[in-house]
Amino acid sequence: MAAILSDREIKRRLGLPVSDDESLVITPLFDLGKSLDADAIDLRLGTHFLLPRVSQRPFLLPDRASVGTFHTNVNVPLGKYLVVPAHQTVLGSTLEFIKLPFDLSGQILTKSSVARTFIVIETAPWIHPQYRGCLTLEIANVSNTPILLYPGRPIGQLVLMKILNPTKQPKMGSTYFGPIYPEPPTFKDPLDDLSEIGVSKVWIIEGPTPVTKPGKKT
C-alpha cells in the first residue's frame, strides 16, 4: 500500500544530495520546523500570476494556436497584494521550486485557513514522480467577496506519498519542465488529440469575421 511521508522522512529526503535518486527538493525553505506538519509541508504563494485576458473571440478554443493567448502576466512583489474579484480565477504558482524523486507522488491541498475564505488553489492537484518546477496553482475565488492574496504567505500544503514498485524514468519529463512562474496551458489541436482514437473530422467555430457593405472594399 502507498504510504504518506512523515515529517521525519520528508526531512531525511530534503537532506540528501540532489544526485541521489531519493532526494526531495523544496527551495527556498525559510524555517523547516515551522513549515512541516506531521504529514505535510506548507507552501507559499509566488510573486507571478497569469490573469485571464478578455478574448476577442466569443469562446475559448484550447488549440495549438491559442497557447499564451488566454492570459496577461502580472508580477506582484512581496509586500504587495493581488485582488481576486468574486467568482474570478487566476493562475499563480508556489514560491517554492519542487523536485519529486522517482518513488514519490504528491498532492497539493489548499491550506484549511485559506480554504475557509473560499479560495481554492488547485483543480489539478496531483504531482507526478520526478516532476520539477514551481507548482502552477489554479486559484479560484468562489466566494461572493473580492479577496486579497499576498505573495509569500502560506497558501497550500504538499502531501507526499510513496509509490509501490516505482519505475525509475531514465529521463526528465519535458512537459512543464522546471517552470519558475505559472505556465500557461499547452494544447495540441483538437484533431491531433482525437485522431489518436480514430476520429478523422472535427467541428470548429471560426473566429469573428468582418461584415462590409456590398460594393465596399475592406
Partner 1 sequence: MPDALSGLLHDATAVYRFVDFICAFCDRKESQQTYGEASEDFFDYVIELGESTRRFLQSIVDEAKSDPKRIPIYRTNLATIKKCWAELHVFVKPAADGHSLQTPTPFLAFMEQQLSELPSLAGARIVILISPELNYLQYQHSKLKGFASELSRTIPKSPTFPAKLGFIAIPFSQGGTVFTNTLIYHELGHFVFEELNKRRTLNAAITSALTRTLRNAYTSLGYDEKAWCRSQLAIWAEETFCDLFALWVSGPAYSFASIELLSLLGMLGTSGAKDFDSEHPPFAFRFSEHYDQLKKHKWWAAIESMSADHPKLIKEMGAVDPKEYRYEFQELVPAFLELRDAIRDLVKTTVGNRDPGFEAFKEWKSNVHEHLLHGIVPSTSHGKGKQPLAAALINSAFCFYLDSLAELVKKVKDLDPSIVEHRSDIARRVEMWTLKALEDCHLLSRHSQSQAS
- Annotated catalytic residues are 138
Pick the closer one to partner 1 by CB: 95 or 119: 95
How far is it, in rounded angstroms, from Cα 75 to Cα 151?
10
Strands 154-162 and 3-4: antiparallel
How far, in Å, are 128, 141, 142 from residue 41 at the CA level?
17, 23, 25
**CA of residue 180 relative to chain centroid, distance:** 11
Applying CB under 8 A, among 4, 172, 199, 204 the residue interacting with partner 1 is 172
By the rule CB under 8 A, 99 interacts with partner 1: yes
- Cβ at position 187, least distance to partner 1 in Å: 17
- Cβ at position 210, least distance to partner 1 in Å: 31
Q: What's the grid cell of residue 82?
A: 493581488
Pick the closer one to partner 1 by CB: 84 or 97: 97
How far is it, in rounded angstroms, from Cα 93 to Cα 127?
14
- Would you call 49 helix, strand, or coil by DSSP? strand
How far, in Å, are 81, 133, 154, 168 from residue 21 at the CA level?
38, 17, 28, 9
Contacts of 15 (CB under 8 A, 6+ apart): none
By the rule CB under 8 A, 211 interacts with partner 1: no
Applying CB under 8 A, among 45, 82, 92, 97 the residue interacting with partner 1 is 97
- Cβ at position 6, least distance to partner 1 in Å: 21
Instruction: Please identify, among the stretches 1-9, 51-59, 160-168, 170-178, the one whose residues bind partner 1 according to the rule CB under 8 A.
Output: 170-178
* String of contacts with partner 1 for each residue 57-76, x by CB under 8 A: ----------------xxxx
Q: Please report, as ranges, the residues that interact with partner 1 according to CB under 8 A.
A: 17-19, 25, 27-28, 30-31, 73-78, 80, 97, 99, 132, 134, 169, 171-174, 177-180
